[in-house]
Amino acid sequence: MVQDWDPDEHVAPELQVALMRRAVDRRDAIRERCGACQRTPLVGERVYFDHAGAVFCELCRALDPDPALGSRIVHGPEFGHTMRLTDHRAA
């Protein structure tokens, strides 16, 4: 039986963790939201992330007193599957 994946139903917890890990690994390839304001960053916008992998937009980053682990530019989905650009410099 094939169903669309629903993270809240029909999935064993350990599988959810595995899927979540995979989603985090592929986070450059998926649409993501700011962890604070839930806004989806615009393509070309710089986003910041902390050690937990949480993503913050430019505006929310400015309000966060903790230094971000890094930042990167949001790419459109056409780049996500073939390119992985990371910027490990301190913000």
Distance CA 67, CA 57 (A): 13
Q: How far is the CB of 63 from Zn ion (least distance, A)?
A: 9
Tokens encoding 39: 């806004």
Q: Which of 15, 23, 37, 43 touches Zn ion (CB under 5 A)?
A: 37
Binding region for Zn ion (CB under 5 A) out of 3-11, 17-25, 35-43, 75-83: 35-43
Binding region for Zn ion (CB under 5 A) out of 3-11, 12-20, 21-29, 57-65: 57-65
